[in-house]
Amino acid sequence: MRRFLSLALLCFLLLGITLNAQAQSTDAASSSTNDAAALELLEALDVESYTAKGEAITAILQSDDERARDWLQALLDGRLQRTEDGRFVLVLENRGRDWPVADVLTGEALGEMSRRDLERIGINNNLRNQLRSAIAVVDLYSLNVERRRTSAERLLGEVDGELVPTLDDLIAQEEDEQVRYRLTQAVAIYRAEAGEMAGVEALDGSLHPRSRVALSRAANGDDPVVANAAAASLSGIEQQLKINRGLETLYFGLSLGSVLVLAAIGLAITFGVMGVINMAHGELMMLGAYTTWAMQQLLPGQPGLALILSIPAGFMVAALAGVAIERGVIQFLKGRPLETLLATFGISLILQQLVRTVISPLNRTVITPEWMSGSLVVNDALSLTLNRMYVLGFALVVFAGLMLIMRRTRLGLEVRAVTQNRAMARSMGIRATRVDIMTFALGSGVAGLAGVALSQLTNVGPNLGQNYIIDSFMVVVFGGVGNLWGTLVAGLSLGVINQVLEPWAGAVLAKIIVLVFIILFIQKRPRGLFPQKGRAAEG
């Protein structure tokens, strides 16, 4: 890869001036002669062998055609395609059955074409790498700062001796701080690997993995002075990395914890406050997730909007299902926990099979909106995944909302009154049955919300609920039945404990250790972390 890059760059530099000149003045006469040559260049791409395709890419890069970058980008994106009559077209949009296309050579729009009539020029991973490097080389001279940044980052660890002088020149001319920093680093990595002191010094404190590799090579070099310096800055970097790794694990733990909290908090209301063991809680989450899927089907092309709309929709669907379960089954089994458990378990199986038969036994695709994918880069060694950050935030908002409802609204007051002393509450004029329905609907609705969030993290399929039901009960029991704060603290701390144990014990063992820990804990404190106090607890 490195050899290719420097070769490509050298070729490009020789041609760079003519290319810029041409970009400014293109007359009709020269473009038609260009098109013949261009067609030949593109023809070379339409071959079976990937090695031949690689050579064709190099040829395109070496050509002085100003459209080279666009072609390479189109090839990389899989948008460079060929029609049945051998014309090269650029696919502008590849959703649905008919795609709008434009002629690659003239840029003329050709209307929509059926995807059956188009043949994509395929690439493999090696070519993908080659294309990215090629585009990076072109982009180094781009007027667009973003492109220069990506390009400079790509060069880290891919620089060799021939490139260094050119890069030094570029650094001197570069105006953007970030690009300059990356280019300096890229050169320093080369120097450090070559055993130069300057390189090692420049890399001090850099957290980028390529820098670390370069430094560890320098630390094994011949020159003892350089080797010692490299070893010293390596140990400093390792120290930094340890801190970052700790922060990362904490984030992982909080994120897993937030999923647990979301899954458990609805249960904390139905089981914790009302005392109903609802084994179909997981399936209510599944309904929420399927609502998200259905919303995205209703609003094709707008996954973000669909996701936001499915927050209220998921809540409503699950809440209504909850009301149906409460009215249909649970109200007749009041005070008979074992029967309730069996009946709701039956409901959970029915709901699962219903989804399997009505929708499909296969998982459904829920698209993650653009703004939720990828990660937030804190530094070279620490980046936080966005989808999980949103879920963490969502969990906290849901928790705060529930707290508000329970503490500040009439409904919350009535719920607390009914659960503390049903007879007394009724004699004060509270309609206990209505409160039961509302409470169960609230708990179920929150399960629906959890389902909406989970659709962004895991499979949306008939088994979604099963995977979370045990964990949910675990969190509620560990936190202390009837206490929302307990659920929050228990969920987050179990998440962190699990993630701290995982790298050390492995995923399977970590889960077992957490379970054993909870069993021991419940032996010692049967009422969980935050037991309810006072007379209410005795009832």
Partner 1 sequence: MNTLKRSTHPQRFLSSGRFATALLTAAVMGASAPAFAQDDDPIKVGILHSLSGTMAISETVLKDTVEMLIEQQNEAGGLLGRQLEAVVVDPASNWPLFAERARELLAQEEVDVIFGNWTSVSRKAVLPVVEELNGLLFYPVQYEGEESSENVFYTGAAPNQQAIPAVEYLINEVGIERFALVGTDYVYPRTTNRILEAFLKDEHGIAEEDIMVNYTPFGHSDWQNIVAEIRRFGEEGKPTAVISTVNGDANVPFYTELSNQGIDAADIPVIAFSVGEQELTGIDTGPLVGHLAAWNYFMSVDNDDNYDFIDAWIEYTGDDMAVTNDPMEAHYIGFNMWAEAVRKAGTTDVDTVKDAIIGVTVPNLSGGYAAMMPNHHITKPVLIGEIQDNGQFDIVWQTPSTVAGDAWSDYLPGSRDLIADWRKPMECGNFNVVNGSCGGSTAAEEAEAALAE
Give the footprint of partner 1 on this chain (CB under 8 A).
Answer: 50, 78, 94, 122, 124-126, 128-129, 132, 209-210, 212-213, 217, 248-249, 252, 255-256, 259, 353, 356, 361-368, 373-375, 383, 385-388, 457-463, 467, 498-499, 502-503, 506-508, 511
Are 89 and 110 in contact by the 8 Å Cβ rule? The answer is yes
- In whole angstroms, how close is the CB of 290 to partner 1 at the nearest point? 13
Helical segments of 268-302, H only = 281-298
Residue 200 Cβ vs partner 1, minimum distance, rounded to whole Å: 16
Q: How far is the CB of 362 from partner 1 (least distance, A)?
A: 6
Residue 115 vs 426, nearer CB to partner 1: 115
303 or 448: CB nearest partner 1: 303
Give me the least distance between CB of 60 and partner 1, in Å please: 19
**54 near 130, Cβ under 8 Å?**
yes
Contacts of 318 (CB under 8 A, 6+ apart): 284, 285, 287, 288, 291, 444, 445, 446, 447, 448, 449, 451
DSSP state, residue 369? P
Q: How far is the CB of 377 from partner 1 (least distance, A)?
A: 9
CB of 366 to partner 1, least distance (A): 8
Q: Give the residue with the Cβ less far from partner 1, 38 or 494.
A: 494
Output 19 or 457, the one with its CB closest to partner 1: 457
Of residues 102 and 386, the one with the C-beta less far from partner 1:
386
* Reduced 3-state DSSP string for 125-183: HHHHHHHHHHHHHHHCCCCCHHHHHHHHHHCCCCCCCCCHHHHHHHHHHCCCHHHHHHH
What is the rounded distance in angstroms from the CA atom of residue 528 to the CA atom of residue 264? 14
Distance CA 145, CA 154 (A): 14
CA 161 to each of CA 3, 61, 346, 488, 490: distance values in angstroms, whole numbers, following the listed order: 10, 21, 70, 56, 56
Which residue is associated with the tokens 């493999």? 124
**Do 155 and 6 meet the contact criterion of CB atoms below 8 Å apart?**
no
Give min distance, CB of 256 to partner 1, in A: 5
Identify which of residues 209 and 328 has a Cβ nearer to partner 1 in the complex: 209
Cβ proximity to partner 1: between 106 and 220 the closer is 220
Residues 432 and 422: beta-carbon distance below 8 Å: yes
Nearest residue to 438 (alpha-carbon basis) of 392, 405, 472, 477: 405
Q: For partner 1, which is the closer residue by CB, 122 or 346?
A: 122
Amino acid identity for residue 490 in this structure: A
Nearest approach, Cβ of 365 to partner 1 (angstroms)?
6
Closest CB 153 distance from partner 1, rounded Å:
12
Longest dimension (CA), the chain: 96
The SS3 call for residue 430 is: coil
Site of tokens 């009439």: 410
Residue written as tokens 């979604």?
Answer: 464
Nearest of 21, 12, 13 to residue 60 by alpha carbon: 12
Least Å distance, CB 117 to partner 1, is 16
Kindly state the helix (H) or strand (E) to which residue 90 belongs, with its residue range: strand 88-91
Nearer to partner 1, 506 or 526 (CB): 506
For partner 1, which is the closer residue by CB, 16 or 369?
369
Question: Looking at beta carbons only, is 34 or 499 nearer to partner 1?
Answer: 499
Computed on alpha carbons and rounded to an integer, the radius of gyration of the chain in Å comes to 31
Closest approach, Cβ 209 to partner 1, in A, equals 4
Q: Shortest gap between Cβ of 411 and partner 1 (angstroms)? A: 33
Which of 147/212 has CB closer to partner 1?
A: 212
The answer for residues whose C-beta is within 8 angstroms of residue 458's C-beta and 6 or more apart is: 464, 467
